[in-house]
Structure 1
Amino acid sequence: MSVRQQVQNLLDFIDASPSPWHVVKTIEAQLATQTPAWERLDETAKWTLQPGGRYYVVRDDSSIVLFVQGQKPLAETGFKIIGAHTDSPGLRIKPNAASSVDGLLRLGVEIYGGPILATFTDRDLSLAGRMSYKNDQGDIASLLVKFDQPLLRLPNLAIHMNRTVNEDGLKLQKQTELPLILSALTEEQLPQAYFSALLQQQTGVAATRILSWDLAVYDTQKGAFWGAENQFYADSQLDNLSSCHAALQALLFDDMQPDTTLVCAFFDHEEIGSQSNKGADGSFLPDVLQRIALSTAEGSEDVARALAKSFMISADMAHAYQPNFPNAYDPDHKVGVNKGPVIKVNANQSYSSESVSAAMFADWCEQAEVPYQTYSHRCDMPCGSTIGPITAAKLGIRSIDVGSPMWAMHSIRESAGVLDHDYLIRVMKRFFAE
């Protein structure tokens, strides 16, 4: 597959995955086309695993762990793990969302994570996520919801009423100025009933059976290449679906029979701290790794030995240098778009990288003939974090934080370099194949 085709495949992956629940569905759909076949495991059932077998586990519809069972005992080889996250910052619809003001129906939203709120204005927005309802048998069931058409909008205030917006920046009052316009209502129409009827029309589930939802706001504009030579691309959710896609391509790239058990772990809730039953700070990955060991008759001491021999790549996007804002960067650690994956370093362990893991990743890059860069945040600015330190601490394994460089992180429309996605896939393949 060419470099451009790899990125087009990524854009298609993102556009099919407007919410964390859709991300997992898209991954499952891709696994269904693979040979040898992938088997979905149930956490409530007993697992029987075979060397070379391909398996995956889903927890609560939006986190997924995939693994290829190694040929050799875990105590001899350990695990090779790539971790990333399925969620992105944005807006989520509140439970009692619909209200009417001066004949306009609006949906109230809650801020999820740390989005750049101003980028949500004047965009063609819609809804996607999960809805729970009572089925014909009286049981609680869930299904995915996705409105394809532009459904919502957050119109900006005209400059005539906000004269200093270009000097002071657009500032939105989080409670009163973020509700999204959905429709015009007549006096007879009730806001919540109207919204429930809309969900019924989209899903086929009677409004009286709808109990709750997890609905994210997403941008309906498709991903695109840009630049005079199409050397860049833009889409929503590059942070961090680009990393999920790269890791998935590395795991699926051939029908290898590895000696080591290979794992991809994609978690929800990273953007809000990872503290949930399906987040990186929960038990999901430790549970799966322990069950892999137990199903292969490894004792508790062998599990500890396996973890001591394991390595994890925590893959999350990195801040590329933007020359319009030079004062936002450490001048000695400027990383460029289309110049290779970035090793992210922080002395206070906001990133899990340290000298040994950084050297190991640099060596894999050199073996894969991939350039690499190193990033350190300005000392006078707070540094973000990733699942890397959380997972490394929970499992006690060596880890590194890396990612492709990108612009406008946490905007509703992010940008990155075409070459970098291929670079990251190549070094991840090298990691899994070593």
Structure 2
Amino acid sequence: MQLDAHIDDLAAFVAASPSSYHAAHEVARRLQEGGWTLLAEEASWPVEPGGYVVVRDGAVIAWRVPDSAHALTPFRLVGTHTDSPGFKLKPQPTIGSAGWLQAAVEVYGGPLLTSWLDREIELAGRLVTRGGDELLVRTGPFFRIPQLAVHLDRTSSDTVSLDRQRHTQPVFGVGDVAHADLLAHLAGIAGIASADLAGYDVLAVDSQPSRRFGLDQSLFASARLDNLSSVHSALVALLDADGFESADGSESGDEPAITVLAAFDHEELGSESRSGASGPFLEDVLRRIRRGLGADEEQATRALAASWLVSSDAGHSIHPNYPEKHDPHVRPLAGRGPLLKINANQRYTTDAHGAALWARSSAAAGVPFQEFVSNNTVPCGSTIGPLTATRLGIRTVDVGVPLLSMHSARELAHVDDLVSLSAALGAFYRGA
């Protein structure tokens, strides 16, 4: 996919994915359009070669079994996550103060709170009826968290200190709370009676469209680049590699691998859920695939030992206004290639073999890459990589695109890095 088309497609993907639930369904929808088969977890799965996808809540796993697959065929996996920091709607969400109608929200993950001030926010997520039906819902621009005017606090231009309870509740109108009902509004959008609404997982998310700007339109500003940038890049790579049957997955280079995209939910919360990377979702899927190929326990273990996982999650570009926050010598810059993420304390899983794999994949794709390591005085974040490696024992490497303003309501990337990540992941899927 050419650069302009790739960036336009990423913008469309982000727009279609305001919540993790929407993102998982958008991945499945695109794969189904490409001829892949959507499976239900509670159903019996086919054993024939082909492309398959399964959704669990806000997570999605897709895989392609090649025609030549057998009990010892290894996996080539890309792991990502669908959720982003922000806010989630609380129980009894319709509240008010001083004549304003407000929504009760809870902070989700670790957002940069000040970045959410004075922007139009929408509600998006899933509703569940009393009968157990699940419906996706979104409002479009609906909320705003208003900042205090400088006339009322002369220090606000120097320091902004937000109380996570008192100062983050958005407004959506004026009037009497007794005559407003957010849940009824959501039910109406979904086309159900408010009395039929029994449960909901609804988040407040930025509604502004993605946009290119800057010199040569080379910069890309968007909500949820952490980590929809990786989900989209991996999805494009998986579709581009669909049906690839040349040398791919083994040390001898004579047989293809089973290619997998695993996009987990709840990474921003620590991944400890049934749809998170610490949960059983991926292990369950891989076990069922292996059983479909007739593998016994020893063969399944051997296949995993020959497999690879690329954990793709956004990383940090050096910040021009805060260079002291970065390592003084390893200083990756947006536009110079995706990151190979390294940490001595295994916050990232990259080791020497992983570095060699990513170097081969990048070279095969004809794209550059950069190393990233944290300043010793700045705590290092982590990814689904160490969690998945620990759970499955599979060899793993951590990569991602460099961003500015990570965890902001609106993050910043370079268009070249977004395209390069997808190209390198495609080379990985093809067995570089």
Which range, TM-score by smaller chain? over 0.9
1:270 equivalent in structure 2: 267
One-letter amino acid matched to 1:18: P
Q: Does 1:92 align with 2:88?
A: yes
Q: 1:174 aligns with which of 164, 183, 187?
A: 164
2:356 equivalent in structure 1: 359
Pairing of 1:150-161 with structure 2 (within 5 A): 150-161=141-152
Q: Is this contact kept in 2: 1:95–1:213, CA < 8 A?
A: no
Q: Does 1:190 align with 2:178?
A: yes
Q: 2:122 aligns with which of 119, 126, 135?
A: 126
The CA deviation at 1:194 is: 2.3
Q: Is this contact kept in 2: 1:71–1:257, CA < 8 A?
A: no
Structure 1 residues 278-327: Cα deviation after superposition (integer angstroms, max 9, x where no partner): 10000000000010000111101111001000000000011001211111
Pairing of 1:5-404 with structure 2 (within 5 A): 5-34=5-34, 37-51=35-49, 53-60=50-57, 62-134=58-130, 139-148=131-140, 150-168=141-159, 170-186=160-176, 190=178, 194-253=181-240, 255-258=242-245, 259-404=256-401
Q: Does 1:419 align with 2:416?
A: yes
- Separation in 1 of the partners of 2:241 and 2:383? 29
Pair 158,119 (structure 1): closer, same or farther in 2 beyond 3 Å: same
Unaligned regions of 5+ residues in structure 2, if any? 246-255
One-letter amino acid matched to 2:209: K
Structure 1 residues 152-189: Cα deviation after superposition (integer angstroms, max 9, x where no partner): 11110011222222322x21101111111011114xx5
The CA deviation at 1:74 is: 4.9
Q: Is this contact kept in 1: 2:28–2:60, CA < 8 A?
A: no
- Separation in 2 of the partners of 1:389 and 1:109? 31
- Separation in 2 of the partners of 1:195 and 1:109? 12
- Separation in 1 of the partners of 2:234 and 2:187? 37
Pair 67,367 (structure 1): closer, same or farther in 2 beyond 3 Å: same
Pair 215,73 (structure 1): closer, same or farther in 2 beyond 3 Å: same
The CA deviation at 1:212 is: 2.0
Q: Is this contact kept in 2: 1:234–1:413, CA < 8 A?
A: yes
One-letter amino acid matched to 1:158: A
One-letter amino acid matched to 2:211: A
Q: Is this contact kept in 2: 1:338–1:419, CA < 8 A?
A: yes
One-letter amino acid matched to 1:33: E
One-letter amino acid matched to 1:78: P
- Separation in 2 of the partners of 1:227 and 1:384? 29
More deviation, 209-218/334-343 = 209-218
Structure 1 residues 195-251: Cα deviation after superposition (integer angstroms, max 9, x where no partner): 233123212211111122111111111000010210111110000000000000011
Name the SS for the 1:146 alignment partner: strand
Name the SS for the 1:58 alignment partner: strand
- Separation in 1 of the partners of 2:365 and 2:100? 56
- Separation in 1 of the partners of 2:365 and 2:181? 56
One-letter amino acid matched to 1:355: A
The CA deviation at 1:391 is: 0.2
One-letter amino acid matched to 1:11: A
Pair 40,309 (structure 1): closer, same or farther in 2 beyond 3 Å: same
The CA deviation at 1:15 is: 0.8
- Separation in 1 of the partners of 2:289 and 2:73? 13
More deviation, 385-394/354-363 = 354-363
Q: Is this contact kept in 1: 2:213–2:219, CA < 8 A?
A: yes
More deviation, 315-324/68-77 = 68-77
- Separation in 2 of the partners of 1:48 and 1:18? 32
- Separation in 1 of the partners of 2:321 and 2:269? 29
Name the SS for the 2:380 alignment partner: coil
Q: Is this contact kept in 2: 1:74–1:302, CA < 8 A?
A: no
Q: Is this contact kept in 2: 1:20–1:268, CA < 8 A?
A: yes
Q: Is this contact kept in 2: 1:343–1:373, CA < 8 A?
A: yes
The CA deviation at 1:423 is: 0.7
- Separation in 1 of the partners of 2:45 and 2:129? 30
Pair 328,65 (structure 1): closer, same or farther in 2 beyond 3 Å: same
- Separation in 2 of the partners of 1:77 and 1:341? 29
Pairs aligned (count): 421
The CA deviation at 1:100 is: 2.2
Q: Is this contact kept in 2: 1:75–1:305, CA < 8 A?
A: no
One-letter amino acid matched to 2:29: A
The CA deviation at 1:32 is: 2.7
